[in-house]
Structure 1
Amino acid sequence: QRRLPLGPALRQCCGGAVTLVWERFDDASLPETLPRARPLGPASDMPEAVARKRKAMRPGAPPALLDGWLIETPLPVAQPLWVWGAGHVGRAIVSVMAPLPGRAITWIDLSPDCFPDEIPQGVTMIPAAAPAALMPRAPREADHLILTRDHDLDLALCHAALAHGFASCGLIGSATKWARFRSRLAALGHSNALISRIACPIGDTSLGRDPQAIAVGVASALLKGGNEKMTRDRAV
């Protein structure tokens, strides 16, 4: 290992230091599980402080050096986010969410022409003539944002999402649209409790209703919520 100051010699001006660790792995020495703690010097019994640190570290935490031991955790499992619709709001939300870590974004609309020319890196684009038919392919722990230009398609997607299951689901629209949707979803056989799991309207109304403002509010709710299920009291 080698500790390097983050100064002029490395053309850095932020201060502090970084510790570099070199390791060589082969088939026999590859770790089978994470988190893992190992000494950087001669083999020794694991100190209690290291054992506690390893137990406390969550997936995705940066590697830690403690008492001459290196502790590493697995990468977190990306939380699936399915965005239905590539209009102004859909594009704004994807542009905000795509650079953030920990999200696996699937973006659906009716045809390739609906999408921008450049799709953000890591985003899976799916053109589909019948988007609601794709709902069974979504993981049941996925977050969903329903943002299409067609109210009938929005309703079909809400119906499919309620039948399939989800971690959270947000629908773009006004209170009037949501009241109408609640009635129609109830007529399709969904309970009031289940329907109430869909958040509508979405975003933070105090930020405004421009697509970018809606995207900021939606992103904030998703980041704060983690994997918790979204409700209308905590709308996307």
Structure 2
Amino acid sequence: MSLASFLAADKRIVQVRLIRVRGSSPREAGAQMFVSADGTIGTIGGGQLEYMATDHARAMLRSGLHSDKMDVPLGSEIGQCCGGRVEISLQRMTSADRATALAEREASDRQSPCVYILGAGHVGRALARQFQHLPVRCSIIDSRGDELALVDAAVEARLSAMAEADIRRAPKGSAFIVLTHDHALDFLLTSEALERGDAAYVGLIGSATKRAKFERYHRASEARSDTRGLVCPIGATGSPDKRPEVIAAFVVAEVMDVLTTRCAHDVIAETTR
């Protein structure tokens, strides 16, 4: 369920937000969740901390209390072993609060990194199913309408006869996963993604042999881009399991590791300016 649907379903909701974190905690300051009498959306870290906050929020709904705070040590006394301490604000939401929360979510979504899956075959569709649950803007692109029609994930399915143009228009810091139905097209799109010079991740499905062939193609085409940043094979773990869902799990972990590390570096750089 989306945040908009959750907020529209009940007029009595408490916004629960971590406002201060000292020491180790399962979530960072600013993490939030929304609590109604019979549901929640979002998380402040799970476990006993979240149970206590949810219980407190529902007690507020029953009593009519509009705002409150909690100061919780994350130690053995509540059954958690983080060892830090968090302060939580709890606020009954007004119409203005709901509008603000939705605007913040939309802004956050717009700032999420873009992931482009270039090829809507079995592995591409398996990737889309997993990326739909993650904080990214995912698009799956193919020139074959019949394959795109099989995409069942809540991501953008884009029919495109020239995916290289989509790559050129992508935002800075995007991730590109190339796994089309044609090796020549794979090589063209991989070169296009590398040529940008600002991609967070460029991955090409295939073996070490395919990478060697791509390197020869790249040199022959006199491309200026460096291939050292290319990931091929993708999701390389040595696992013999080639089921699309398994391959997708390894690739998603690989891509998210790069994207979240890059995001953390950007945040640190911004705060130290």
Q: State how many pairs are aligned.
A: 181
Matched, 1:79 2:113: yes
Matched, 1:111 2:144: yes
SS at 1:82 equivalent: strand
Matched, 1:215 2:248: yes
The structure whose residues are more often helix, as a share, is 2
Deviation at 1:158, TM superposition (A): 1.2
Code of the aligned partner of 1:65: I
Pairwise mapping of residues 149-228 of structure 1 onto structure 2 (< 5 A)?
149-165=181-197, 166-190=199-223, 194-207=226-239, 208-228=241-261
Matched, 1:125 2:160: no
Which residues of structure 1 form unaligned runs of 5+? Answer: 4-8, 23-39, 42-48, 50-63, 230-236
In 1, the alpha carbon distance for the partners of 2:39 and 2:171 equals 45
The TM-score normalised by the length of structure 2 is: 0.57
Matched, 1:91 2:125: yes
In 2, the alpha carbon distance for the partners of 1:169 and 1:103 equals 16
SS at 1:195 equivalent: coil
The TM-score normalised by the length of structure 1 is: 0.65
In 2, the alpha carbon distance for the partners of 1:90 and 1:118 equals 9
Cα 1:190/1:111, change in 2 over 3 Å: same
Deviation at 1:132, TM superposition (A): 1.7
In 2, the alpha carbon distance for the partners of 1:2 and 1:220 equals 33
Pairwise mapping of residues 57-72 of structure 1 onto structure 2 (< 5 A)?
65=88
SS at 2:238 equivalent: helix
Deviation at 1:95, TM superposition (A): 1.0
Task: Give the aligned CA root-mean-square deviation in angstroms.
Answer: 3.5
Deviation track 1:94-130 (CA, whole Å, cap 9, x = no partner) reads 1111122x11011100121122445322x11111122
Aligned match for 1:19, one of 29, 37, 57: 57
Structure 2 residue aligned with 1:61: none
- Detail structure 1 runs of 4+ shifted over 4 Å in the superposition: 9-12, 72-75
Which residues of structure 2 form unaligned runs of 5+? Answer: 1-12, 16-36, 41-47, 62-66, 72-86, 92-99, 263-273
Deviation at 1:18, TM superposition (A): 4.1
Mapped contact 2:14–2:90 kept (Cα < 8 A) = no
